[in-house]
Structure 1
Amino acid sequence: MSQLVADEHSPQRPQQRYANLYTDLSRTVRDLGLLRRRHGYYWTRIGLVIAAFAGVWVGFGLLGNSWFQLLMAGALALVLTQVAFLSHDSAHRQIFDSAAWNDWTARLLASGLVGMSASWWRSKHSRHHQAPNQLDRDPDIGSGVVAFTPAHVEKRTGFSGWLTRRQGWLFFPLLTLEGLNLYVASLRHLLRRSASSVERIEAAIILTRLGGYLAVLLILLPIGKAGAFLGLQLAVFGICLGASFAPNHKGMPLVPATMKLDFLRRQVLMSRNIRGGVMVDFALGGLNYQIEHHLFPSMPRPTLRKVQPIVRDYCELHGVKYTEVGLFSSYRIVIDYLNNVGLRARDPFQCPLVELYRK
């Protein structure tokens, strides 16, 4: 950290110092070797989730026509959540040195096991990383069933407005539908006329996977139990994914569409870390280190824990607010924010550089 302290006191204009903040941090992290790939970790993890996926279906076959199959449905949802986390890591090119290996691993895990499109997700997620919580740029705060911005709230009146003012309490129940929403959105993306040849391959894999899944359920179970299995699996899957994404940015500052920020502040000020041990790391797929992930998207998941103290100290040194809360506190913040989105317009985000000049 001595180099970082020296940079802080070097004779630079404020604009230059702001622009250099991320460069200095990135150089330190790279020099410490914290961007190196963790092949052993990921091969082990991929092997375990594939074995768990196969184990669920072996258990499914052994149970036969039984309501205990709902336990298998829940287990399948948990396994698919871990597969989705691995696909996320590979899409960010955290696993292999080769871009092609990362891309196809993400694609095969997402399409072949989860049944979702990696191409659709990457397009959406890349735009989120470029401008987290920025109006008209971040798709994760776009208009939908839940209103994430004051502008969306203002357009809702009557019963819709009444529900929106209480949407925080409905948020987690709505997550039971998130799994179905992700499947529909990815298929709509892949089946459009302008789909690329790679996306058509994805579509073929996904349709085969989903068709085979439904066929197995209907062959081995009566339609009522098959429907219960499918419904529970989708609900648990949606809750697990939604509960891992929601704490990261919801309730953090919203950035006006035209505002420009330096990279470090753009990523740190709009992101929230979640405290916890190994179980939280596992349940949230490493996304609890959201600040570090946004600063270093290609950093392997197990390294995020190691780089966190460096990033936190660096932010403190340069007066950049670093937000970290407990898991349940983060959910309380999300619920409160969603119930009061319309009031957030009274507390607009101020650019740190503008505030510096005003002082």
Structure 2
Amino acid sequence: MATMNMAQQRKSRVYTRREIEALIASGRSIIIVRGKVLKVDAWLPYHPGGDKALQHMIGRDATDEVEQFHSAETLRFAERYQIGRIEGLWANFLPPIQGGKFRTQEELDRIPSNDNEETISSGSESENTASSADQSPVFEPAEQDAASLRKRTAVPRTSSASSVSSVDLDDMKETPKMSLLDARTQKEIDLDSVTYPALDPQTQANVVHKYRELQKRIEAEGLYDCNYMAYGIEGIRYTIALTLFIFLLRSGWYITSAFPLGFLWHQLAFVVHDASHMGITHDFITDSTIAMFTASYLGGLSAGWWKSNHNVHHIVTNSPEHDPDIEHMPFFAISHRFFENLFSTYYERAMTYDAFAKFMILYQNYTYYPIMLFGRFNLYRLGWAHLLLGLGPKKGIAWWFRWFEIVGQVVFWTWYGYGVVYKTIPGGWNRFWFVLISHAITAPLHVQITLSHFAMSTADLGVTESFPQKMLRTTMDVDCPQWLDFFHGGLQFQAIHHLYPRIPRHNLRKTQRLVQDFCNDVDIPYALYGFVDGNKVVIGKLRDVGRQAAILAECQRTIVEGEFGSHTH
């Protein structure tokens, strides 16, 4: 009883902003969920989704991120890490992994208390009916993000996907070398600032409040319930593809048999995506096993790598320094910021903008589709690195995932590499074309994944921006007829999926109407393009960034020539 009372006392302690800042400065990993202060240091090596996903939430109210990615059981489990609570709305810090600086207790003691404590005016009583735990922490210290406080101007709203590429760069040709990229960055921030709702506490709190109300409505309408009949139909499609592959292979139509096998891999990737988000059974172990078996044993990929990569992507979507899903240097750059030799916090290395990258970026709108044909080979490389280097969790509930997938790799390369390619298919050229075609057929998957983000904003509006607004600002949906949903595998509803990642994909179309109503209600543009138009926008974005690279190169060349001329003179 005494132990229980001590635990309750510990959890009921109210932490000030100063105390939490000091804890983080001392190396503690503190996140806020529903007003509860969680110290997750002990959980970092056990987290099945990787430690970086948690690191991006340190110092923040991560209520929406945590609740959307975890089951109710996991959320109850997380409460064991609670060390206290906060009162009122939380002002987000910039996480250390993103460059946030924190003052130690000694440094804070030298600052008068009223210079550091921040409060939010709650407005009228009618505006403050929601509890503080149900509101998003939507403002930050001014010194952490001055850009978020810039004055907004009244201009017509438009989708950022189409607007970013329309910013005129000709006026930047005369910009000094050191400010060229900064000027472009400012243009994009200003554009997003007038396109999306304001970042003030009241506006963002309203966005989050409406978002959580929508969550309750989605739950009430049963949209989190998996439609297993739909998976029965999926199974028939997979069986037909597998049967056709085996029949053609045994009939000596070796190269032709690569087409149904590639189609099968393309379709199975959607199952991996569903299961990795716990969108099938909603049980972590069951869905993770389905994902790993499908990815590794049938496809030679790693669901463990995908989960680690994808969870970070969902939290810091389209952030050039942090989102691995847009870090494709030296082949692609979807933002001019990649010209700055950015350091990737996910890969923990600099993304060098070297001579090869400078050449490739100039022509990336032409190389986009050819490179997508080989996307699966890159997934092999990333999966092997994840498994061989032991980058996944080594402790906790997911400790065995790595070994299960390593066995899966052995099984896959035995049946595919040895059994099919080496033993069954005769002749080097037959093998070459079989391997190439079976992998190239999966290219629409890679186009689909990049399509939803490449054309969208990469601007950083600071930590005041709410989770739902950031997801809708950085993600687009693809419009297609319902009968074609099987081809897109739910990935055409990426914006909806980013808002509610655990909704089964067969319910995403039903959810779309509710999300559109939400967007209209809070005045957030909902980016929706047809598949062809979406591809045009992506190619346009790649061309635009390539043009920026050409302008930067021209400016640098002019400056060098000018300096050389002045020296010779």
Give the TM-score taking structure 2 as reference length.
Answer: 0.55
What is the SS of the residue equivalent to 1:288? helix
Distance change (3 Å), C-alpha of 1:114 and 1:97: same
State the AA in 1 paired with 2:489: G
Q: Structure 1: which amino acid aligns with 2:438? A: Q
Shift of the 125–193 alpha-carbon distance from structure 1 to 2, 3 Å rule, reads: closer
- Cα distance in 2 for partners of 1:135, 1:59 equals 44
Question: Distance in 2 between the 1:194 and 1:35 partners?
Answer: 31
Matches of residues 73-88 of structure 1 in structure 2 within 5 Å?
73-88=258-273
Q: 2: CA distance between counterparts of 1:330 and 1:25?
A: 27
SS at match of 2:441: helix
1:168 maps onto 2:365 in alignment: yes
Structure with max Cα Rg? 2
Name which of 385, 388, 409 aligns with 1:206: 409
1:104 corresponds in structure 2 to 289
In the other structure, the counterpart of 2:332 is 146
Q: Secondary structure at the match of 2:241?
A: helix
Task: Report Cα offsets for 1:136-189 as digits up to 9, x if no partner.
Answer: 221112242212221223554656424312201110111111111111211121
C-alpha contact 2:279 2:502 (8 A) present in aligned 1: yes
Mapped partners of 2:461, 2:484: distance in 1: 33
Output the TM-score relative to the length of structure 1. 0.85
Instruction: Say yes or no: does 1:340 pair with 2:544.
Output: yes
Show structure 2 runs of 5+ residues with no match: 1-125, 129-201, 342-352, 395-399, 550-569
Distance 1:19 1:28 in 2: 14
User: Which amino acid in 2 is paired with 1:231?
Assistant: L
1:74-103 per-residue CA deviation (whole Å, 9 max, x = no partner) reads 221111110011111111111113221111
CA contact (8 A) 2:316 2:323 kept: yes
Gap runs ≥5 in structure 1? 1-9, 346-359
Secondary structure at 1:18's aligned position in 2? helix
What is the identity, as a one-letter code, of the residue corresponding to 1:108? F
Q: Determine if contact 1:22/1:263 at 8 Å carries over to the other structure.
A: no
Distance across 2 between alignment mates of 1:202 and 1:158: 37
Aligned to 2:277: 92
SS at match of 1:325: strand
Is the partner of 2:319 in helix, strand or coil? coil
Counterpart CA distance in 2 for 1:91 and 1:82 is: 15
Q: Report the count of equivalent residues.
A: 331
- Report the Cα offset of residue 202 of structure 1: 0.4
Cα drift, residue 32 of structure 1: 1.6
Change (3 A) 1:193 1:288: closer
Say whether the 8 Å CA contact 1:73–1:233 is kept in structure 2. Answer: yes
Give the Å deviation of 1:33. 1.6
What residue number does 2:209 align with?
20
Which shows bigger deviation, 98-107 or 192-201?
A: 192-201
Aligned to 1:11: 127
Q: Which residue of 2 aligns with 1:136?
A: 321
- Please give the secondary structure, in 2, of the residue aligned with 1:274: strand
Identity score, percent: 25
Matched, 1:277 2:481: yes
| Distance change in 2, residues 1:162/1:98 (3 Å) | closer
| d(CA) in 2 for partners of 1:15, 1:56 | 52
Q: Tell me by how many angstroms 1:333 deviates.
A: 0.8
Q: Which amino acid aligns with 1:22?
A: Y
Residue 115 of structure 1 contacts residue 209 of structure 1 at CA under 8 Å; is this kept in 2? yes
Inter-partner Cα distance in structure 1 for 2:431 and 2:311: 36
Partner of 2:470: 266
Query: In proportion to residue count, which structure has more helix?
Result: 1
Asked whether the equivalents of residues 136 and 257 of structure 1 are also in contact (C-alpha less than 8 Å), the reply is no
In structure 1, distance between residues paired with 2:448 and 2:363: 21
Structure 2 CA distance for partners of 1:162 and 1:175, relative to 1, 3 Å:
same
RMSD: 2.2
Matched, 1:113 2:310: no
Q: Which SS does the other structure have where 1:340 is aligned?
A: helix
**Pairing of 1:167-316 with structure 2 (within 5 A):** 167-193=364-390, 196=394, 197-215=400-418, 216-220=420-424, 221-237=426-442, 239-256=443-460, 258-316=462-520
- In the alignment, residue 415 of structure 2 is paired with which amino acid? G
**Does the CA contact (< 8 Å) of 1:315 and 1:322 recur in 2?**
yes
Evaluate the alpha carbon distance shift between residue 39 and residue 159 of structure 1 in structure 2; reply closer, same or farther with a 3 A threshold. Answer: closer
- Cα distance, 1:327 vs structure 2: 0.6
Once residues 175 and 15 of structure 1 are traced to their aligned partners in structure 2, the CA distance between those partners, rounded to angstroms, is 37
CA contact (8 A) 1:280 1:288 kept: no
| Alpha-carbon contact 1:120-1:186 (below 8 Å) kept | yes
Report the Cα offset of residue 342 of structure 1. 5.9
